[in-house]
Chains A and B, each alone.
Chain A
Amino acid sequence: MAIEIAALRRRILISFVILSASAIAGCQRGDLDLTDRTEEEPPPLAANVDAANPLVAPQLVSGWWSVEQNSWRWTARKFAVILRTPIGGTTEGARLLFNFTLPDVVFTHFTQVTLSASIHGSPLAPETYRRPGTAMYMREIPADFLSVRSVRIDFELDKAMPPSQADQRELGLIARNVSLEIR
């Protein structure tokens, strides 16, 4: 009888061990499956748009060619972008900053290039560029223009390289980054 009870104890012990082993067998090391661990929102509009960033590409609404070398895009003569109004911009106003490059090839066609912009149809002062290289277009935007969640900014060059046999695209400038920043 004592032997049988000892055997019973062993069986109980073994049962617990087997049950436990099977319970934890599904818990192998490895990457956790975290799909559906968050509830995501549609990508929010950005106030700062890198021309090469695919996540903000929907904000480049017209006049933008494909990303090149993972860092920039050619634009057409006219192009437009939608930017989110920066936090604080509705009261303090903001600064429009557009970083771009005018390559040598542009100045083989033209002696100077003028860039103008408008925000919701209201024109901003144009600026003329006479040398190749990196450049910036910067304008102060009054708070009145920024009372809405996002703004459309239309850029326009006075001239652009027309389509050619070598490149079927109309080429304006090489855009890198455009943003609205609080002052």
Chain B
Amino acid sequence: MSSLATAQHPGRSDAQRSLLYAAAYWLAPPLLCLAIYGRGLLAWFQADDFAWLALRMQVHDWRTLIHALFVPMAQGTIRPFSERGFFLVFESLFGVHALPFRTCVFLTQFANLAILAAIARRLTGSRAAGLWAAILWLIHSSLALPMVWSSAYNQVLCGFFLLSAFWFLLRYVETGRRTDCVGQWVMFVLGFGALEINLVYPALAALYTYLCARKYFRTTWPLFVPSVAFLVLDRLAVSSKHGGLYALHWTSAMARTFMIYCHHAFAPTEVAIWLKGGPDLVLAIALGGALIGFAAVRMLRGDRLPMFCLGWFVILLAPVLPLRDHVSLYYLSLPAIGLAILGGYALVSAWRGASAWKTAAIVLVTAYMAVMVPVDWIDVEWWGQRSWAVERMVLGTVRARQLHPKEAILLDDVDSTMFWSGVFHEPFTVFGVSNVYLTPKSEEHIEGRPELGRVSDFVLPTGPMIHGLNHDQIVVYRLGPGRPKAITALFEDTIAQKLSPDPPRRVDVGNPLMAYLLGPEWYALESGSRWMSRRATLRIGAPLSPSEKLYVSGFCSEAQLREGPFPVRIALNGTPLQEFTMHCVANQFHAILALPSNLDQSKWLDLTIESWRTFKGAQDGRELGLSFGTFEIRE
């Protein structure tokens, strides 16, 4: 019957076959994406995700919403669509379920793959080259992180805007229709909400039109205006004194960084450590050399498309080259699009050539896949496992809070990974859980990263811990491969017995577990700080060496300083320290005071604070002197 039908309707059979091809063409990249990165769809939150999830708690009205969406944060980034708006909207709709966030990332990437295939097809005139471009980009190992970590959505979404804008440019070049030009502008401008790298799009458009559509070259010039404006605003909003990892180094180091990225583009040795020591160079030279060789040959024949593809790589990479100390594989995800288009083009060209070229193409693409796909799997699995460990810790701690609403929660056996991808980002606050600490000496087995912060700020000192355990104010949970396990009794009977009950050398007066160190003059706890009246006392651990100093921090208001700065006196065991004057900066004050050399050899010191000015609390009429945060004795 079917053969008869086929015989009677040969045209229909061809149409069905074409539809089948078309379905395969458009479905293959998304399905391959799911096959490679599918575990990333199930990943939970980690690291920076919690800062974005906590953003919702700062939004109360339109004014705070605008503030949350647009005020520059970490390294001066804004990114309202890919980070702040993304997290605000999805958390508002779905709470802290990660699946909708991940689904959105995957859908955006599916769209990217379709647009890239369409672009490559238009550029090369080959459907196969379009498909290969999408596949080669998809499996590039720089995409692993964005496909498993929601905070890296900015790369995927920026890719969407860049590719869409460029696709509209191609249509505009083809049709000359104003609507396509408008489409390009809309996608380009929206791209600024995804990632700062979007500002290089005008260079991409200019390069393409200069090389391949000179008639439209001038139409790309106005695109530079928004980019320059964004750059100026961004630089004005960001402090130029960025240090650490994100410091910009406009030096010859940029050339070295460029070479590192070129190497990683073909040999991702950050993950594929088995390639180190030779094979990585062979691979990078073979793949890179093949692409450059192909580009050179095509350019000699007057084909300028390969030059544009290489230009795409360089232009998209340029903004991260000054980040000398922060070379990250995932920064290659957008530059790699240029290489993928060139790769697809080269593959199809080779396939049309002599059998030697076919063989070479098969060998090279097989080598590329043999490296990239395992790296993708390893990377996604590593990041996924890390997210699930963070999930166990965070949700376990939230459960512990449900079971122990009044007690502080102490986490034991927190390792470096769990600390820097979880605890450090204060994930518990997203769930309204506070008073979570690490057990004493945790900092000894957590790798220090001073450029990010101090582990010790998260550790409960031994004195308050023992006091808290003895007064049933603390529960202890041990982390491990499974659920957090309550070990309070075991901890009390073993580890705690070996710890010193002496007062700590850092007293946080806003910590209820340290209230026993405070004299009766202090008022009740208020949002992590306490007011004193004119005079107050507290007990603090003694210095370890005479060179140590007393670091004091607290909170202040304009009302306190209406009559000008005023002096504050602090004495240790009755010996006055140098008087300091209260200066309020951004509602906070700090002081560093030298310690007297003739302190008693005791384990602790009694500290007295006197404020030379007090005022009446507006609401309760209390005599208010100073509001303190911490006292710390250290080098």
Residue numbers of A with Cβ under 8 A of B are: 1, 4-5, 8-9, 12, 16-17, 20, 23-24, 26-30, 32, 34-42, 44-48, 56, 84, 86-88, 90, 149, 179, 181-182
Q: B483 contacts which chain A residues (CB < 8 A)? A: 36-39
B23-69 interface (Cβ within 8 A of A): 23, 26-27, 30
Given A8-B26, A41-B489, A87-B496, list of 9 further CB < 8 A pairs? A20-B107, A24-B100, A24-B103, A28-B95, A29-B93, A34-B398, A34-B399, A87-B466, A182-B466
Q: Evaluate contact between B470 and A86: CB separation under 8 angstroms.
A: yes
Q: B18 contacts which chain A residues (CB < 8 A)? A: 1, 4-5
In the assembled complex, the Cα of A59 lies from the Cα of B249 at a distance in Å of 65
Q: Evaluate contact between B492 and A34: CB separation under 8 angstroms.
A: no
Q: Evaluate contact between A88 and B26: CB separation under 8 angstroms.
A: no
Q: A37 contacts which chain B residues (CB < 8 A)? A: 392, 395-396, 398-399, 483-484
Give the top 9 A-B pairs by smallest Cβ distance, nearest first: A27-B97, A44-B489, A37-B399, A24-B100, A34-B399, A41-B486, A39-B485, A29-B95, A86-B470
Q: Is B125 an interface residue when CB atoms closer than 8 A count as contact? A: no
- A29 touching B489 in the complex, CB below 8 Å, given contacts A16-B30, A181-B470: no
Distance in Å: Cβ of B43 to nearest Cβ of chain A: 14
Q: Evaluate contact between B95 and A24: CB separation under 8 angstroms.
A: no
Q: Evaluate contact between A90 and B22: CB separation under 8 angstroms.
A: no
Q: A8 contacts which chain B residues (CB < 8 A)? A: 19, 22-23, 26
Q: Evaluate contact between B492 and A84: CB separation under 8 angstroms.
A: yes
Q: Is B177 an interface residue when CB atoms closer than 8 A count as contact? A: no
Q: Evaluate contact between A38 and B470: CB separation under 8 angstroms.
A: no
Q: B93 contacts which chain A residues (CB < 8 A)? A: 29
A–B pairs, 25, beta carbons within 8 Å = A1-B15, A1-B18, A4-B19, A5-B22, A8-B22, A8-B26, A9-B22, A12-B26, A12-B27, A16-B110, A26-B99, A28-B94, A29-B94, A37-B395, A38-B477, A41-B485, A44-B489, A46-B472, A47-B471, A48-B470, A56-B472, A87-B469, A88-B470, A181-B470, A182-B470
Distance in Å: Cβ of A70 to nearest Cβ of chain B: 15
In the assembled complex, the Cα of A159 lies from the Cα of B224 at a distance in Å of 95
Q: A23 contacts which chain B residues (CB < 8 A)? A: 99, 103
Chain A's closest residue to B500 (CB) is: A88
Q: B222 contacts which chain A residues (CB < 8 A)? A: none
Q: Is B319 an interface residue when CB atoms closer than 8 A count as contact? A: no
Distance in Å: Cβ of A140 to nearest Cβ of chain B: 16
Q: Evaluate contact between B22 and A87: CB separation under 8 angstroms.
A: no
Q: B395 contacts which chain A residues (CB < 8 A)? A: 32, 34, 37
Q: B484 contacts which chain A residues (CB < 8 A)? A: 37-39
Residue in B107, B486, B490, B501 whose beta carbon sits within 8 Å of that of A87 in the complex = B501
Q: B487 contacts which chain A residues (CB < 8 A)? A: 41
Q: A42 contacts which chain B residues (CB < 8 A)? A: 489
Q: Is B400 an interface residue when CB atoms closer than 8 A count as contact? A: yes
In the assembled complex, the Cα of A29 lies from the Cα of B90 at a distance in Å of 10
Residue in A12, A16, A26, A29 whose beta carbon sits within 8 Å of that of B23 in the complex = A12
Distance in Å: Cβ of B398 to nearest Cβ of chain A: 6
Distance in Å: Cβ of B414 to nearest Cβ of chain A: 15
- A39 touching B486 in the complex, CB below 8 Å, given contacts A5-B22, A87-B466, A87-B496: yes
Q: Is B354 an interface residue when CB atoms closer than 8 A count as contact? A: no
Contact with A along B317-347 (1 / 0, CB 8 A): 0000000000000000000000000000000
In the assembled complex, the Cα of A27 lies from the Cα of B42 at a distance in Å of 13
Distance in Å: Cβ of B150 to nearest Cβ of chain A: 14
Q: Evaluate contact between A45 and B489: CB separation under 8 angstroms.
A: yes
Q: B472 contacts which chain A residues (CB < 8 A)? A: 46-48, 56
Q: B497 contacts which chain A residues (CB < 8 A)? A: 87-88, 90
B398-419 interface (Cβ within 8 A of A): 398-400, 402-403
Q: Evaluate contact between B402 and A34: CB separation under 8 angstroms.
A: yes
Q: A48 contacts which chain B residues (CB < 8 A)? A: 470-472
Contact with A along B239-278 (1 / 0, CB 8 A): 0000000000000000000000000000000000000000
In the assembled complex, the Cα of A90 lies from the Cα of B23 at a distance in Å of 76
Q: Is B96 an interface residue when CB atoms closer than 8 A count as contact? A: yes
- A38 touching B26 in the complex, CB below 8 Å, given contacts A47-B472, A87-B469: no
Chain B's closest residue to A17 (CB) is: B107
Contact with A along B289-303 (1 / 0, CB 8 A): 000000000000000
Q: Evaluate contact between B486 and A24: CB separation under 8 angstroms.
A: no
Q: A181 contacts which chain B residues (CB < 8 A)? A: 470
Q: Evaluate contact between B95 and A32: CB separation under 8 angstroms.
A: yes
In the assembled complex, the Cα of A88 lies from the Cα of B498 at a distance in Å of 8
Chain A's closest residue to B94 (CB) is: A27
Residue in B95, B97, B100, B501 whose beta carbon sits within 8 Å of that of A182 in the complex = B501
In the assembled complex, the Cα of A129 lies from the Cα of B330 at a distance in Å of 76
Q: B451 contacts which chain A residues (CB < 8 A)? A: none
Chain B's closest residue to A7 (CB) is: B19
Distance in Å: Cβ of A58 to nearest Cβ of chain B: 14
Distance in Å: Cβ of B415 to nearest Cβ of chain A: 19
Chain B's closest residue to A86 (CB) is: B470
Distance in Å: Cβ of A95 to nearest Cβ of chain B: 11
Q: Is B526 an interface residue when CB atoms closer than 8 A count as contact? A: no
Distance in Å: Cβ of B169 to nearest Cβ of chain A: 21
Q: B27 contacts which chain A residues (CB < 8 A)? A: 12
Q: A9 contacts which chain B residues (CB < 8 A)? A: 22, 26
Q: Evaluate contact between B103 and A88: CB separation under 8 angstroms.
A: no
In the assembled complex, the Cα of A135 lies from the Cα of B396 at a distance in Å of 42
Distance in Å: Cβ of A33 to nearest Cβ of chain B: 10
From B93, B96, B403, B486, name the one whose CB has the most chain A CB atoms within 10 angstroms. B486
- A149 touching B97 in the complex, CB below 8 Å, given contacts A8-B19, A37-B399: no
Distance in Å: Cβ of B461 to nearest Cβ of chain A: 14
- A38 touching B403 in the complex, CB below 8 Å, given contacts A5-B22, A20-B107, A44-B489: yes
Q: B403 contacts which chain A residues (CB < 8 A)? A: 38, 40
Chain A's closest residue to B465 (CB) is: A87
In the assembled complex, the Cα of A174 lies from the Cα of B242 at a distance in Å of 64
Q: B392 contacts which chain A residues (CB < 8 A)? A: 37
Contact with A along B473-515 (1 / 0, CB 8 A): 0000100001111111110110011010100000000000000
Chain B's closest residue to A20 (CB) is: B103
